Amino acid sequence: MEKPRVVITGLGAITPLGNSCADFWEALIAGRSGVAPTTAFDASKLTTRISAEVKGFDPDALFGRREARRMDRYAQMALAAAREALEDAAFPDDPDVRERTGVIVATGIGGITTIENTLFEVGPKQSWDRISPFFVPMLMGNAASAQISMNYGLRGPVFAVSSACASANDAFCIAFDKIILGEAIAVVTGGSEAAVIPTAMGGFCSMKAMSTRNDDPTRASRPFDKERDGFVLGEGAGVLVLEDRDFAIARGARIYGEVIGYGQSADAFHIAQPDPESKGVVLAMERALLRSGVTAEQVGYVNAHGTSTPLGDAAESQAIERVFGEHALSGALAVSSTKSMHGHLLGAAGAIEGIATVLALHRGILPPTTNYEFPDPECRLDYIPNVARKAQVDVAISNGFGFGGHNTTVVFARHA
């Protein structure tokens, strides 16, 4: 009996580059930046005053004011992205199918906007009676998955994943397994994050983790460039519909690509810093290749985690060298970080980067690393500098690494 296969049939995105997959992809290929001075709050007292915000997102228009007010921003964006993904997949309105369809949407922080707003509302007078009865349901990390499940009658495995900035990649892994094991015929999966708020940005500023190029926001995120000085915080959501291949073909679904495996590991090193020897990152990529049954030479593109931090980018680049060897150093392996344009979406990063990777395979165009001007001797690979590249690639990987030392690599393939 042939082993089950998992394909991607629907894509949805709410991002700093646009509030649809089409707009997101067009901006990526054009090399446009979504980074600008922060408008969500007065950031003038912070060392970093720029971010990659979602613009023009109107949850009241999408869901109605009453329902929108019962969801945190991260859940609103997840539900909007899921709506697009399910419509894009032309997913069947069949109770039997939806009973076997799961939802696994990741988040690194969950409803932190609700928490912060509520604390401001309570204030120094400790007016606890001002807390909304929807406070707990809104802040929950599983609220996005639950909202999607309830809105679309999806009764398969429904839960959330939270492993910092590896969260969405981990969600893909679990969704893949649920389908392979026959526990679901389809899974709506991805990630969402809404952390452009004072406490989150203030916390990252205290860590000195973010770029301080406040006077030049569009050029602030510069992965692998020698002048990089930290990441740019972003927000948004990405959702993909994964299906059993036989089911997708039987219903005549359009197929974007295939998930063929993954690898996971831990650094077991530091809560916030990457292992300078990159042992965990190497393990994740090696395990991904092994599980997928592909050789290093078959991989044509790496969608890098590439946050634009001095330590992280060097560690990842050197890990890619170790895993792919001459295939990487010769320029046969293309590497790029789309965070150069949309910033770092934390728990949702892997979701929109997974979409970018799938579309790169599907459309034969590799998105660039923008703002790449000054080569770093510690980063010696082909980073697709500044301009998108036409290239027909059959296999690609997407890396996601998170605080706590979580490393997850997902392998995508062009469908055949």
Catalytic residue set:
165, 305, 344
Strand partners, 260: none
Token pair 């609700």 is found at 114
State the Rg of the chain over Cα.
20
- Rounded CA-CA distance 302/368 in Å is 11
Dihedrals phi, psi of 68, to nearest 5 degrees: -60, -40
| Residue 176, amino acid | F
- Rounded CA-CA distance 313/171 in Å is 23
What is the dihedral sign for C-alpha 173, 362, 165, 308?
positive
User: Nearest CA to 235 among 173, 271, 193, 276?
Assistant: 193
The answer for residues whose C-beta is within 8 angstroms of residue 410's C-beta and 6 or more apart is 169, 172, 173, 259, 261, 262, 288, 350, 354, 397, 398, 400
- Other beta carbons less than 10 A from residue 207's beta carbon: 11
Ramachandran region, residue 31 (left: φ > 0; alpha: ψ -120 to 50; beta: rest): left
